[in-house]
Amino acid sequence: MSNMPTTMTTTTKAATMNESKISARKVQVFYGDKHAIKDVEIEIPPRSVTAFIGPSGCGKSTFLRCLNRMNDTIANCRVEGHISIDGENIYDPKVDPVQLRAKVGMVFQKPNPFPKSIYENVAYGPRIHGLARKKSDMDDIVASALQKAGLWNEVKDRLDAPGTGLSGGQQQRLCIARAVAVSPEVILMDEPCSALDPIATAKVEELIHELRANYTIVIVTHSMQQAARVSQRTAMFHLGELVEENDTDKMFTNPDDQRTQDYIMGRFG
Amino acid sequence: MSNMPTTMTTTTKAATMNESKISARKVQVFYGDKHAIKDVEIEIPPRSVTAFIGPSGCGKSTFLRCLNRMNDTIANCRVEGHISIDGENIYDPKVDPVQLRAKVGMVFQKPNPFPKSIYENVAYGPRIHGLARKKSDMDDIVASALQKAGLWNEVKDRLDAPGTGLSGGQQQRLCIARAVAVSPEVILMDEPCSALDPIATAKVEELIHELRANYTIVIVTHSMQQAARVSQRTAMFHLGELVEENDTDKMFTNPDDQRTQDYIMGRFG
Amino acid sequence: GAAAARDQIQIAGSSTVLPYASIVAEAFGENTDFATPVVESGGSGAGRKKLCEGVDENTIDIANSSSRIKQSDIDACAKNGVKEIQEVRIGYDGIVFASDINGPEFAFTPADWHMALAAKVVKDGQLVDNPYKKWNEIRADLPDQEILAFIPGTKHGTREVFDEKVIIDGCKEDGALEALKAANGGDEKAAEKACMALRTDGVSVDIDGDYTETLARIDANKNAIGVFGLSFYQNNTDKLRVATMSGVMPSVETIAKGEYPVSRPLYFYVKNAHLDVIPGLQEYIEFFVSDEMAGPDGPLAAYGLVSDPELAKTQAAVKARTPMGALN
Amino acid sequence: MSPGIVVLVVAAISAVGYVLGRRRAVSLSASERVRLHSLPGYYGQTVALFAAVPAVIVLAAWLVVQPLLVETRVTGMIPDSVIPEGGARSLVMADVRRIADGIDAVLARGGISEGELSEMRADATDVRGFLAEVGVALGNDVPPPVFEAAKSYRQISKTGNFVAGALALALSIGFALWAYRRIAVDLRARNISERFVRALLVSASTIAILTTVGIIASLFFETYSFFRVYPAQEFFVSTVWNPQFRGGSELGILPLLWGTFYISLVALIVAVPLGLMIAVYLAEYAGPSVRSVVKPAIEVLAGIPTIVYGLFALVTVGPFLRDWIAQPLGLGNSSSSVLTAGIVMGIMIIPFVSSLSDDIINAVPQALRDGSYALGATQSETIKQVVLPAALPGIVGAVLLAASRAIGETMIVVLGAGATARLSLNPFEAMTTVTVKIVSQLTGDTEFASPETLVAFALGLTLFVLTLGLNVLALYIVRKYREQYE
Amino acid sequence: MTEISTFGASVAESRGKSLFAADERTRRRNAAEARFRMMGRIAVIIGIVALIGLLASILSNGMSSFQQTYVSLDIFLDPAKLDKAGDRNPEAIAKVSTFGYAPLIQKALQDAMVGKGIAGDGVNPKAAAELISKEAPADLRRFVLADPSAIGQTVHFDLLAAGRIDGYYKGRVTMESAKLDRNISPEQLMLADKLKEAGILTTRFNWSFFTAPDASDTRPEAAGLGVAIIGSAYMMLIVFVLSLPLGVAASIYLEEFAPQNRFTDLIEVNIANLAAVPSIVFGILGLAVLINFVGLPQSAPIVGGLVLTLMTLPTIIIATRAALKAVPPSIRDAALGVGASKMQATFHHVLPLAMPGILTGTIIGLARALGETAPLLLIGMVAFVREYPSGPPEGFFDPASALPVQIYNWTQRGDPAFVERASGAIIVLLVFLMMMNLIAIVLRRRFERRW
Ligand SMILES: Nc1ncnc2c1ncn2[C@@H]1O[C@H](COP(=O)(O)OP(=O)(O)OP(=O)(O)O)[C@@H](O)[C@H]1O
Ligand SMILES: Nc1ncnc2c1ncn2[C@@H]1O[C@H](COP(=O)(O)OP(=O)(O)OP(=O)(O)O)[C@@H](O)[C@H]1O
Ligand SMILES: [Mg+2]
Ligand SMILES: [Mg+2]
């Protein structure tokens, strides 16, 4: 926690309020022959929550993974187009994807804790980024991250237990805690509440709300209610295309696109 | 779809209406020292949908895994008490867990498709149970299972693609299709809709509804609405205890237990 | 470090000579201040090749050889600047035929062996594929025992002696050579070659390993006859029954007198250029051929090396460092 | 300055550099109140790397170059007159080095002083006897020019070592300072050190290529000379292998290849099912205690010297197969046979299959098994249809390794299958393999330049090319059937 | 539809059935399961039985080599023989060769026999002296040269008994075999029995087996493994220090970093192929490149170590790559997702998970390297070496032997006593191997986990 202010001061300069934090132009993604993302253009404003919605398999996760170049790790995945964060093209060969990912954190759709202790799961990020100088600093970071993710009470007595021995929802929250612990500027969350009960969900939403003040958040969700509750802007994907992107209020009351309307009304499929 | 009628006629004799399909008495589960399930007693009626609800980490999955002895595969997991299906103690040493699991199918919380083609993922179960004599029979089974899970349209052109290359929600539906394809008597579903959009969810709920006529279904869900929509009975877990078990209608309108009330009202945590 | 100069003699070559060389090396190390020489075994061919690799500390000093050096080796030596080589004949190696100690006695002639093992033999005046299955079919006074012979593999120097002194001589004795010569249009070379063609139906088994392997095989096949070195046999007289050849019992004495036919000389070759450079090299070769070691009462003879009757000549040549002349 | 000491000093410099670099990075970030680009340790590492790597490279290069330089310098000092007839300059140089070492030894013992040494003359002193006292034996008395050459050899080497050491130290300190000065909060220290590690990784993997090049090179020339004295066509298509001591051999590779293939096949038929079943049993059925005992125990099989297996084949298995199977069935009465060698070799390579496969099977995620069990699959169905396919690439690797071992084995083949090259289908007959013949032809008593010896290289190269082909095939198959979990 | 109903019916059969009453198909499947399991168990049993059989034969043949028979004699170091001039001049004393010491021993034995009242019974003094190893004079000479002042005194020596006598007390030589044996007579054995009764002949643990260098063919009783153990230890040190890091580094590069292209395919195939290269070819490589080209010395552990390293690398690389491949990608994703570099993800997460496989590769690779003779044949290590190499690192460049080489050499020698020594050496080699692997095995158990 102690060095949080430093980070903040440095980030302010990057994004002026009227600029968008992330902007994507003509993004195409292919898995081998499969054209998974088609010509997506989007601007994501800083210090706000943007929700991606759309039917299963429409490309939300794929697009999300483009934003911190996690697609690099998929062998047959090819990304075209232009994505920039703070005005810098992240697909520039000179960009260090590591630095990018330190800046753009991610919570995956399938919880994937390390086969290590709960503590180590959360402490790993801060450790490699040198966020804690002392053991006690690290303890603080871990505790606060777990608290934010609403997991602290459940695991505080067994921080040494393996992260893989947690329940599904607990693992999901552990992964959220792990991502939050390194305090990235942008957090990408792929259905962070899918395995969570309403209370835990509320807790995570509260966290998102809190983070919004300083961070840019992109969240994939299947719950319209959740999108409506937490996001300022919403983007709707369908069959790899970005159908509509709009203020959340507008989107859920008076969408521009027929398909959005249909989806929200549950008339798809 | 086509073989449904035959199956229906034969299943009727097994469970008389007033008997319960599954009954658990004084079930205790320990993970090493951790007491994860405490003294749970429950009766699950046949040909109905029972929903398990409760906060994350309360032991829903653990208890669910007890019902087809999937806990056997966890090294440090110990189950005590008595669970019977159709009046037979499933923890009897003479019981063959394989036969049990053929009868009691399961969909896991984390989708775990086999690293095989989509087709093979679904065909695997029917094949080991010898449900198809010819290739065309198998094709029918696979197609109908995928249709029931609402995945057919998305994958019918790429049945040879690996199941692991699907999106999160698609994988989840693939796992549902896989479980349905062997037509077990009891289907345990651990949050089958967690990664699904509303339309896909509706499709799965429809499937559950349809299956209910002949099968006994236990579903873990975090969505009260879903529980209310699909289930006849609901069981509420909390900290490893079964807090309350009741008709769903009653449960959501006038629960007996304060904790249930609190949970449903979102006052937990 | 790597740049340090070598201070022990390095010897490589024949595994037949190895036991003798190591007996000498051991005694040399014991009785002098020089380091005990390192004696490698890797075959005569490889040893001579290493010897001829050049004059350099990094090459060996002595090559042991169970056969005489070949012209191609001398050429290779010359090409690599190894001009002077001493040839030192250390004695003779007897080759004996022996069978399991509990089996019958054998008294062979080379003709017996040729008839037993050749691919084609003369039977009733006709050249036919070898029909013999038992020894007594060849000659009635041989035991009634199936023919099974473990002979050295074609890479062994011993095989050369076996081919020459047993098979070809036998071929001549039993008249097959003449018949083959006739069949080959009078070509003596081709006929000899045909003599040496052995049957391939499993009766004659090549052994690529060493005499211990042959011994172990005889253990597993009690009715087999094996080919051994004299020294090996002398160490295993409790397991092996040796056969006479043309009526002569093999021993150090009969071989030294030239009575027992199957033997061959053993050599080592010294690179003269190393003599003054490698500490102890000259001393070692003198020690080797000294009467104390290589003489008829020395440890080498005790171990089964047939002492060279002309040892004194060799001693003089070694003292004088006389390089070998052209091969004749 | 001896290279060892220089290396130690350089190591010390880089250790200090690490500490200082790290400290500087930390203090910079504290004073500028900016987060470092990388962990402080990486800054330390960059300094340490810059301090060590150039210096060590220079030192290593020097160690290679110096002897050459010094030799050329010193060789010039030796007049032709002291080179014995038929000898070579290089041999005299050996003496020079030996004397120089001896002098060092004497000095170290305090026998004489440097001053006395430079005064010393070979014609006045008995250098040979003098050095013999410190255990340095010389082949001959020392001519004065050689002794002088030895002295200057010592001198030049000393200077050389000193210069190199000084250079290395200068480089070390210089680069360390430079790297230290370069430290800034936004220096991409992690990337620098990772690039270095990556370079290390790359060079490690090129060793495989270099080895291959080396093998091909060392086989190629002799193979070439073989084909000059022996027709290639005969070698590749002839079905007879019959080397003769005195030339005129028939050296057809086919019977040897057949033997190799046949024996390896038998070995794999024994080892793969057994090994896989052991792996499966250990990974899936056995309890941890059984596993922790059985696995290392089975691994001992791979460590038993092959001579033991060979004798086992010769003394036990061979006669057994002959007396109980081959003779009753009328399939021959040879105690050495393909089957004997194959079976025994199969036992030896079991651990290659079992241990590696066990690790790979163990690494298959439990979720996959759960998925299968939940469908009502038995454990064996799960293993056969889910676990093994998922573990396939690793298992293929293990089998390839086992096959490779089988192809390369000699002792078991020699003792178990004999040394006869033969083309036959009967597994109860003696046969032999390419490898056995490589060894026997190479270590035989025939002259080296003869085709009988050179054929070993041709055999080696041919085998190399063939196995390469097989491996390409294996890679292709694995690629095709690979199942990537998750 | 009709088709479908038939197979539907088969499902129906099992439906509603008791869990205790297995239907036909389930019974068959369970039988298959039981068979499979039984096959696994049988495979394990076959493996273990093979191991036990081999070990038993090794042990039964080789244990006796850890015992050795000695002859204890008080020997008068006769100045008349050893120092004729009587001025204790070391050079003059050094001139007396081992042949000069033999009579002293012969005499001492006769004296001892007389002292204990043992009759020769047809064994003449020379034949009686044959009970004592030919190594004995060398021992004496060494003793005298080290301490010339002992000349003229009577000193107690424990001398090695000759190989045949030693074998007599180990059951290798019997009265029957002695009758046929040219190297020993039953009378000599009887004499040995008497000496044993008199306490002159004793059998005890054979330390020198582990420390003495090799001996020539005439002295099996003196042959030891000292040089071979040092040589093997040096080589294994080199192999371990080089092959493990190199192998792991190469695998990491290929599996985690290298782009997937023709070139990496080439490397991959190449490595697999190197594993299939017969070990002797590595010897050819070592001879051509390391000795002839680089100029490293012959018979040296450094060359052997490098050659064995090259030979071991493919094994380690293949095992490591397989293990790396088996780590689920989600672990890498998780690490990358929190901003770890690929390097960090690999070293912090993937590598530890792949550790069991890596260690297995190391165990198997080292086992092979330790037992390999063929490549050493060409680089001059299959040799008779009696001088101990010096300490590392200089010792890496000195001639040395190795355990498998010693075994190989001994099995080729004429005297059957060497067969026993070879079996003893095999035991030592296996113990050496197990000690080497112990750490790896313990580590491997710690790293093993499922996810
Ligand atoms: N393998 C395991 N080892 C140890 N503890 C475990 C293991 N699996 C689950 N637990 C613990 O047991 C408790 C119950 O877990 P369970 O998975 O049943 O929860 P759940 O109700 O399914 O929660 P969720 O809704 O988050 O999936 C939790 O506290 C969890 O941490
Ligand atoms: N590794 C892959 N290889 C091939 N195709 C893939 C891969 N990953 C995803 N796809 C395909 O790309 C499309 C988009 O997938 P993506 O995971 O982005 O969907 P999603 O919107 O996240 O869906 P969900 O809500 O189900 O998670 C899907 O059709 C999917 O099948
Ligand atoms: Mg998704
Ligand atoms: Mg759960």
Q: Map out the domains of chain D as residue ranges.
A: 3-187, 193-229, 241-485
CA atoms within 13 A on the CB side of E223: 34
Nearest in space to C15 (alpha carbons), one of C321, C229, C243: C229
Give the C-alpha separation, E392 to E398, whole Å. Answer: 10
**A59 Cβ below 6 A of ligand 2:** yes
- Note whether B114 and D371 are within 8 A (CB): yes
Domain range list for chain E: 3-62, 68-210, 226-447
Number of H helices, E strands in chain D: 21, 2
Give the C-alpha separation, E383 to C40, whole Å. Answer: 4
**CA-proximal residue: ligand 2, atom 5 (nearest):** B165
Nearest in space to C119 (alpha carbons), one of C178, C189, C171, C173: C171
Considering Cα of D447, then D452, then D457, then D460, what sign does the dihedral take? Answer: negative
Please, which residues bridge with residue A49 across strands?
Answer: A217
How far is CA D447 from each of CA C69, C70, D230, rounded to the nearest angstrom?
8, 7, 15
Q: How confident is the model at residue B6 (pLDDT cuts 50, 70, 90)?
A: very low
How is residue E108 written in tokens?
């001492």
Q: How confident is the model at residue C1 (pLDDT cuts 50, 70, 90)?
A: very low
| Ligand 3 center to A108 CA (angstroms) | 9
Cβ of D480: how many Cβ atoms within 10 Å?
Answer: 7
Using a CB-CB cut-off of 8 Å, the residues of chain B touching E25 are 129-130
Q: What angle do CA D166, D167, D170 make, to 5 degrees?
A: 85
**A57 Cβ below 6 A of ligand 1:** no
The predicted structure's pLDDT at residue A176: 92
Give the C-alpha separation, D365 to C211, whole Å. Answer: 55
**A31 Cβ below 6 A of ligand 2:** yes
Are the beta carbons of E44 and D208 separated by less than 8 Å? no
How is residue D114 written in tokens?
């440097």
Among C4, C26, C236, select the one facing E414 at the smallest CB separation: C236
**A62 Cβ below 6 A of ligand 2:** yes
Nearest in space to D435 (alpha carbons), one of C61, A25, C304, E372: E372
Distance from C114 to chain E by nearest Cα, in Å? 28
**CA-proximal residue: ligand 1, atom 19 (nearest):** B57
Give the C-alpha separation, A143 to A230, whole Å. Answer: 24
| Ligand 2 center to E269 CA (angstroms) | 33
- Note whether E347 and D198 are within 8 A (CB): no
Nearest in space to B54 (alpha carbons), one of B212, B179, B236: B236
Are the beta carbons of A7 and D191 separated by less than 8 Å? no
| Ligand 2 center to B169 CA (angstroms) | 8
The predicted structure's pLDDT at residue E86: 75
Q: Which ligand is nearest to the CA of A172?
A: 1
The predicted structure's pLDDT at residue D71: 77
What is the SS3 string spanning A233-266? EEEEEECCEEEEEEEHHHHHHCCCCHHHHHHHCC
Are the beta carbons of E7 and B85 separated by less than 8 Å? no
**CA-proximal residue: ligand 1, atom 23 (nearest):** B57
Chain D interface, best mutation among A3, A8, A70, A108, by max D CB count within 10 A: A3
**B113 Cβ below 6 A of ligand 2:** no
**B31 Cβ below 6 A of ligand 1:** yes
Report the chain E residue with the minimal C-alpha distance to residue D379: E33
The predicted structure's pLDDT at residue D6: 84
Does residue B94 sit at the E interface (CB-CB below 8 Å)? yes
Nearest in space to C15 (alpha carbons), one of E408, E404, D311, E403: E408
* % of chain D residues with pLDDT over 70: 93
Among E180, E218, E397, select the one facing C299 at the smallest CB separation: E218
Does residue E446 sit at the A interface (CB-CB below 8 Å)? no
ipTM given for this complex: 0.89
Number of H helices, E strands in chain C: 16, 14
* % of chain E residues with pLDDT over 90: 20
Tokens 């990772």 belong to residue: D194
Does residue A96 sit at the D interface (CB-CB below 8 Å)? yes
Where do runs of H (alpha helix) occur along C59-187? 71-79, 110-117, 135-138, 157-161, 169-173, 176-183
Looking only at the bridges linking them, the beta strands covering B49-53 and B216-220 are parallel
Q: Enter the CATH code of domain D241-485.
A: 1.10.3720.10
Chain B interface, best mutation among D373, D375, D383, D392, by max B CB count within 10 A: D375
How is residue D478 written in tokens?
């694995």
The predicted structure's pLDDT at residue E44: 94
Q: How confident is the model at residue B11 (pLDDT cuts 50, 70, 90)?
A: very low
- Note whether D217 and E293 are within 8 A (CB): no
CA atoms within 13 A on the CB side of D258: 21
Report the chain E residue with the minimal C-alpha distance to residue A67: E337
Among B56, B168, B197, select the one facing A169 at the smallest CB separation: B56
**CA-proximal residue: ligand 1, atom 17 (nearest):** A167
Cβ of B127: how many Cβ atoms within 10 Å?
Answer: 19
DSSP tag of B71: G
**CA-proximal residue: ligand 1, atom 14 (nearest):** B59
pLDDT tens-digit series, residues D425-442: 888 888 899 998 898 888
Is pLDDT above 70 for E63?
A: yes
Are the beta carbons of A112 and E331 separated by less than 8 Å? yes
Please, which residues bridge with residue C150 across strands?
Answer: C205, C226
How far is CA D142 from each of CA D82, D118, D120, E39, rounded to the nearest angstrom?
9, 16, 13, 75
Average model confidence (pLDDT) for chain E? 85
Q: Do chains A and E touch (3 or more CB pairs under 8 A)?
A: yes
Average pLDDT over residues C93-105: 90
Tokens 């078991």 belong to residue: D412
Nearest in space to E255 (alpha carbons), one of D480, D398, D205: D205
CA atoms within 13 A on the CB side of E5: 7
pLDDT tens-digit series, residues C193-207: 888 888 888 888 888
In this structure, what are the phi and psi dihedrals at residue B95, rounded to the nearest 5 degrees?
-75, 135
Give the C-alpha separation, D348 to D304, whole Å. Answer: 8
Cα pseudo-dihedral A83, A86, A91, A94, rounded to 10: 160
Please, which residues bridge with residue C109 across strands?
Answer: none
Task: Give residues 214 to 273 of D whose Cβ lies within 8 Å of C.
Answer: 242-246, 248-249
Does residue E5 sit at the B interface (CB-CB below 8 Å)? yes
Is pLDDT above 90 for E10?
A: no
Which 3 state secondary structure label does DSSP give C122? strand
Give the C-alpha separation, A171 to A188, whole Å. Answer: 17
Does residue D479 sit at the A interface (CB-CB below 8 Å)? no
Does residue D377 sit at the B interface (CB-CB below 8 Å)? yes
Which 3 state secondary structure label does DSSP give B237? strand
Does residue D126 sit at the B interface (CB-CB below 8 Å)? no
Among B115, B164, B182, select the one facing D376 at the smallest CB separation: B182
Are the beta carbons of C25 and E97 separated by less than 8 Å? no
Which 3 state secondary structure label does DSSP give B37? strand
User: How far from chain centre, in Å, is Cα A85?
Assistant: 14
Is pLDDT above 50 for C283?
A: yes
Is pLDDT above 90 for B144?
A: yes
- Note whether D255 and D459 are within 8 A (CB): no
Average model confidence (pLDDT) for chain C? 87
> In this predicted model, which residue has the larger pLDDT, B268 or E359?
E359
Please give the CATH topology (third level) of the domain spanning E226-447.
MetI-like fold (1.10.3720)
Which 3 state secondary structure label does DSSP give C271? strand
Cβ of C183: how many Cβ atoms within 10 Å?
Answer: 15
In this structure, what are the phi and psi dihedrals at residue E333, rounded to the nearest 5 degrees?
-55, -45
Peptide bond into E393 cis (omega under 30): yes
How is residue D80 written in tokens?
């032709």
Domains delineated in chain A? 22-114+184-265 (3.40.50.300)
Q: What is the pLDDT along chain D (486 residues), one digit of tens a residue?
A: 577 788 888 889 889 988 988 888 888 888 877 777 778 888 888 888 888 888 888 888 888 887 777 877 777 777 777 776 656 677 777 777 777 777 777 777 776 777 777 777 766 677 777 776 666 666 667 777 778 788 888 888 888 888 888 888 898 889 888 888 888 877 888 888 888 888 889 888 888 888 889 999 889 988 998 999 888 888 998 888 888 777 778 888 999 999 999 999 999 999 999 999 999 999 999 888 898 889 889 999 988 888 889 888 888 888 888 888 888 888 877 888 899 999 999 999 999 999 989 988 988 888 899 999 998 888 999 999 999 988 888 888 889 889 988 988 888 888 888 888 888 888 888 889 999 889 888 888 888 888 888 899 999 999 999 998 888 888 888 777 766 555
Give the C-alpha separation, E300 to E370, whole Å. Answer: 15
Which 3 state secondary structure label does DSSP give C232? helix
Looking only at the bridges linking them, the beta strands covering E201-205 and B88-89 are unpaired
Nearest in space to E363 (alpha carbons), one of D400, D301, D274: D301
CA atoms within 13 A on the CB side of E33: 20
Among D36, D37, D39, select the one facing A128 at the smallest CB separation: D39
| Ligand 3 center to C211 CA (angstroms) | 73
**CA-proximal residue: ligand 1, atom 1 (nearest):** A165
Q: How confident is the model at residue A18 (pLDDT cuts 50, 70, 90)?
A: low
Considering Cα of B184, then B189, then B193, then B195, what sign does the dihedral take? Answer: negative
Using a CB-CB cut-off of 8 Å, the residues of chain C touching D441 are 155
DSSP letters, D447-472, are -TTSHHHHHHHHHHHHHHHHHHHHHH
Nearest in space to B257 (alpha carbons), one of B267, B244, B245, B266: B244
Q: Do chains B and A touch (3 or more CB pairs under 8 A)?
A: yes
